[in-house]
């Protein structure tokens, strides 16, 4: 199968974006192209390869086996080209060029604001960020498809460097009508009869919840898997159950008083936001400047953002946020894992 000569970088770029989107129409929006233009490039790529790359399942695009395999190679090729561009850019200044940043979905509640602050200082830098669960970010790191990743737990299975950004508490939320809304310092076992709403497998939040269950020898009466933090919060407010969720996803609900945070012993569970990159990747001056910006500004930004709710490491939160203090997760130093 000799199709390499007929491939173009533009086709690979369009293919990689299409892999992340539920439809060619969404990919066209992201690429600022028309849908027929995207469809034509994908069709030409499939004709060159001689295999279908996409199939439609339940009205949503899905990769075939050939598409899955090609996506890894395409991401690696584009990542290597970007590294070459960054190497050339290193001969110039750190206030221009582009950065590829990946974030877990829980970080979408604060990361865009930090990116906006950075863009105000460095308007010539093109910051491109993608969102996925932890498992997806690990694949992008392995495929060299991203420069930096913001996630909740360093990946021991990859050769990466992880630097702590800020403390990251998780709390148990419930509807305002919950019987234990005003109870103080009760054990997790008191919730054994409740339905627990969980993120999908591969999510960092799901991993924290499963670790909590094991640590407390806890088995909920029923669990329901939902695909996003927003869906979980809406389900909790509707009375479907309770959930362990990142505090940093709750700013709006805490301001409006639409959700209750339960005062469970051992809560909040404190984790740390991590800034991760491949250990073998040579970061460009632009990436290094962005990394410094995040390390300097992320924790003060989150402290200020949650100050109205009395949230401080090692202090009991105030108001509707009533979880007690847990041992602090240290923020400092660098993990090479």
Q: Are residues 39 and 172 in the same domain?
A: no
Regarding whether 189 and 53 lie in a shared domain, the answer is: no
pLDDT in tens, 60-77: 888 999 999 899 889 888
Query: Is the pTM for the entire model greater than 0.75?
Result: no
pLDDT digits (tens, 9 = 90+) for 8-43: 888 899 999 999 888 888 889 988 899 999 999 999
Asked if residue 1 belongs to a domain, the reply is yes
Task: Establish if 297 belongs to a structural domain.
Answer: no
Is 181 a member of any domain?
yes
pLDDT at 93 over 70: no
Instruction: Check whether residue 178 and residue 321 sit in a common domain.
Output: yes
**161 part of a folded domain:** no
Spatial separation of the C-alpha atoms in residues 86 and 160, rounded to whole Å: 19
Instruction: Report if residue 202 sits inside a domain.
Output: yes
Judge if 197 and 314 occupy the same domain. Answer: yes
Residue that finishes a domain, picked among 76, 94, 126: 76
Q: Is residue 9 in some structural domain?
A: yes
Q: Is 17 a member of any domain?
A: yes
Total of domains in the chain: 2
- d(CA 172, CA 317) in angstroms, rounded, equals 13
* Cα 65 to Cα 129: distance, rounded to the nearest angstrom: 26
Other beta carbons within 10 angstroms of residue 6's beta carbon come to 12
Residue 63 lies in a domain: yes
29-33, 56-60, 241-245: range with highest mean pLDDT: 241-245
Kindly state whether residues 209 and 316 are assigned to the same domain: yes
pLDDT tens profile 98-133 = 899 999 988 999 999 999 999 998 888 888 889 988
Q: What is the spatial distance between Cα 325 and Cα 270, in angstroms, rounded to a whole number?
A: 9
| Per-residue CA distances from 256 to 215, 230, 250, 252, 260 (Å) | 33, 15, 10, 6, 11
CATH for 55 = 1.10.10.10
Split at pLDDT 50, 70, 90, the class of 313 is: low
Arithmetic mean of pLDDT, 282-306: 89
**What is the CATH number for 215?**
3.40.190.10
Tell me the Cα Rg of the chain. Answer: 22
Q: What range does the domain containing 6 cover?
A: 1-76
Our separate counts of H helices and E strands in the chain read 10, 12
Do 70 and 197 belong together in one domain? Answer: no
* Distances in whole angstroms, Cα of residue 97 to Cα of each of 87, 89, 92, 148, 290: 11, 7, 10, 15, 11
62/181 same-domain check: no
> Which of 27, 43, 76 lies at the terminal end of a domain, its last residue?
76
Out of 76, 98, 128, a domain closes at 76
């Amino acid at each position: 199968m000799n199709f390499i000569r007929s491939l173009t970088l533009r086709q690979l770029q369009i293919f990689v974006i299409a892999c992340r989107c539920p439809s060619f129409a969404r990919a066209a929006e992201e690429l600022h192209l028309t849908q027929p233009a995207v469809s034509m490039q994908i069709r030409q790529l499939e004709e060159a390869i001689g295999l279908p790359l996409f199939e439609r399942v339940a009205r949503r695009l899905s990769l075939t086996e050939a598409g899955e395999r090609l996506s890894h190679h395409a991401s690696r090729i584009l990542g290597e080209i970007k590294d070459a561009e960054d190497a050339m850019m290193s001969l110039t200044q750190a206030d221009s060029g582009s950065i590829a940043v990946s974030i877990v979905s829980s970080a979408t509640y604060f990361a865009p604001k930090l990116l906006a602050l950075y863009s105000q200082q460095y308007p010539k830098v093109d910051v491109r960020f993608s969102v996925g669960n932890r498992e997806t970010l690990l694949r992008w790191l392995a495929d060299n498809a991203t420069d930096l990743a913001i996630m909740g737990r360093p990946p021991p299975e990859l050769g990466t460097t992880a630097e702590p950004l800020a403390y990251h508490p998780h709390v148990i939320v419930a509807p305002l009508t919950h019987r234990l809304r005003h109870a103080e310092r009760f054990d997790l076992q008191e919730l054994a009869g409740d339905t627990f709403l969980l993120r999908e497998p591969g999510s960092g939040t799901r991993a924290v919840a499963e670790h909590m269950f094991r640590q407390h020898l806890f088995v909920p009466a029923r669990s329901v898997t939902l695909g996003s933090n927003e869906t979980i919060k809406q389900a909790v407010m509707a009375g479907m159950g309770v959930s362990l969720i990142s505090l940093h996803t709750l700013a709006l609900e805490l301001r409006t008083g639409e959700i209750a945070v339960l005062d469970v012993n051992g809560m909040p569970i404190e984790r740390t936001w991590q800034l991760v990159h491949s250990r073998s990747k040579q970061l460009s001056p632009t990436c290094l400047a962005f990394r410094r910006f995040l390390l300097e500004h992320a924790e003060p930004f989150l402290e200020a953002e949650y100050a109205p709710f009395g949230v401080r490491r090692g202090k009991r939160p105030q108001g509707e946020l009533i979880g007690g203090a847990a041992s602090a997760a240290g923020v400092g130093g660098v993990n090479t894992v």
